[in-house]
Chains A and B, each alone.
Chain A
Amino acid sequence: MNLSRRHILILLPAAAVAWKSVLAGTPEESPNYKMSDHWWSMLIDIPKCIGCGNCVRACQTENDVPDGNFRTWVERYHVTDENMVSPEVISPDGGKEGFPAVEADKGKYFFVPKMCNHCADSPCTQVCPVGATFVAPDGVVLVDQKYCLGCAYCVQACPYGCRYIHPVKKVADKCTLCYHRITKGLTTACCEACPTGARQLADLKNPNDPIHAFLKTHSVQVLKPQMATGAKVYYNDLDGSVR
């Protein structure tokens, strides 16, 4: 795409105006988004994750996540030769600054990014006493922070440990699948920052979504399938030892 100087002079202000409307974030400015056209999910490709922690930092920046709490985090698994049942798992500060280097041994290592699974049959929305957390019509599980009591029942009910009570706002908080970005045609902050493409946003209602083809040609799993939560974050090549 080679642009001449003239083109740039036109494009720059046009881009600035277009960008302003994106930043304004008002539904009227991005009228093209219809909730019923989308059913959001995510694909996490385990063999591609290098544990750099970019996603954790990007999420914290994009969403003002308080220190000590995590909307997303990365775990490093070490399945040793002696014990293939109980892995050794670490997640130093959620993997925010990466992981300490290790020497090779007879076991195997891999990284598992975790986040809210935006469950279709979510146990967390089931227990909310007032309707402050819900599954939006486009499949994203959100928290209405103006309505939430901060009772933490949803935090107890989540099998994946992805929720927390915001220490300042005193309401429930968690990954929103960067709802404010995906409704404007952007991808999530974690996907944007991932250098290897280990995290990819997917829209299951979009027939042209490349993840559809991926799901049909690869072995994918969700976390804790026995909980029947309808989790929508799919993992490629997830080891059986992952908790």
Chain B
Amino acid sequence: MSALKDAGHLFRFAGLFLLAFLAFLVIRHFVVPKSFGQYGHYRAAAIGEIAAHPIKFAGHQACEDCHTDIQDIKKAGKHAHVNCEACHGALADHAADPASVTPVKPDTAVLCVRCHATSAAKPAGFPQSTPHSDAPCQTCHNPHSPAIDAGGAK
């Protein structure tokens, strides 16, 4: 047994290790989030947290539910598949409480040009135009159905 006596200090060192390891396990039990590992090596609760972020764009369905007159004009024209908020910007707060937020009419001088300004980089079949009038675009082109013969100015 003298061998063990002379190795006593090693057992103390190992004992310290063991103590630290047990302390680690205890702390770990309290610190690791409860939902961790539910679906994989991550905190499952994060999925719900991310899904709960606030929404800024209402989506065209919400607009069409109320603005049926505009939708009637739009669905027959060239901008049928251009969603409302693509031009009008994010309006979820208007959809939630229409009276509280009045959407600002977009500036056609900037808006129309962004898509329709002529550039050789754009796909060939896409309608492009150089500025051909001093008047604002909507004088002749209804933004909801822009073809000239489709109904004229708004």
Q: A and B: direct contact (Cβ < 8 Å)?
A: yes
Q: Which residues of A contact B (CB under 8 A)?
A: 1-3, 8, 11-12, 15-16, 19-20, 22-23, 25-27, 35, 47-54, 58, 61-63, 76, 78, 97-105, 109-111, 131-137, 142, 144, 146-147, 176, 179-181, 183-184, 186-187, 189, 192-197
Q: How far is the CB of B26 from chain A (nearest CB, A)?
A: 20
Report whether A193 and B85 are in contact in the complex, using a CB–CB cutoff of 8 Å.
yes
CA distance A224 to B117 in the complex (A): 32
Report whether A50 and B59 are in contact in the complex, using a CB–CB cutoff of 8 Å.
no
CA distance A198 to B95 in the complex (A): 26
Counting from the closest, the 4 A-B pairs by CB-CB distance are A144-B46, A109-B121, A104-B120, A134-B42
Query: Once A and B bind, how many residue pairs between them come within 8 Å at the CB atom?
Result: 163
Q: Is B34 an interface residue (CB 8 A)?
A: no
Of the candidates B49, B87, B123, B126, the one whose C-beta lies within 8 Å of that of A146 is B49
Q: How far is the CB of B56 from chain A (nearest CB, A)?
A: 5
Report whether A52 and B118 are in contact in the complex, using a CB–CB cutoff of 8 Å.
no
Q: How far is the CB of B52 from chain A (nearest CB, A)?
A: 4
Report whether B51 and A27 are in contact in the complex, using a CB–CB cutoff of 8 Å.
yes
Q: Is B114 an interface residue (CB 8 A)?
A: yes
Q: How far is the CB of A169 from chain B (nearest CB, A)?
A: 13
If A25-B53, A53-B114 touch, whether A47 touches B123 (CB-CB below 8 Å) is yes
B86-118 to A contact mask, C-beta < 8 Å, 1/0: 110110100111100000000000000011011
CA distance A16 to B89 in the complex (A): 19
In the bound complex, residues from chain A placing their C-beta under 8 Å from that of B51 are: 25, 27, 179-180, 183
Report whether B58 and A19 are in contact in the complex, using a CB–CB cutoff of 8 Å.
yes
Interface segment among B2-10, B12-20, B60-68, B132-140: the answer is B60-68
Of the candidates B41, B46, B47, B82, the one whose C-beta lies within 8 Å of that of A195 is B82
Q: Which residue of A lies closest to B41 (CB)?
A: A131
Report whether B40 and A11 are in contact in the complex, using a CB–CB cutoff of 8 Å.
no
Q: How far is the CB of B69 from chain A (nearest CB, A)?
A: 10
In the bound complex, residues from chain A placing their C-beta under 8 Å from that of B42 are: 131-134, 144, 147
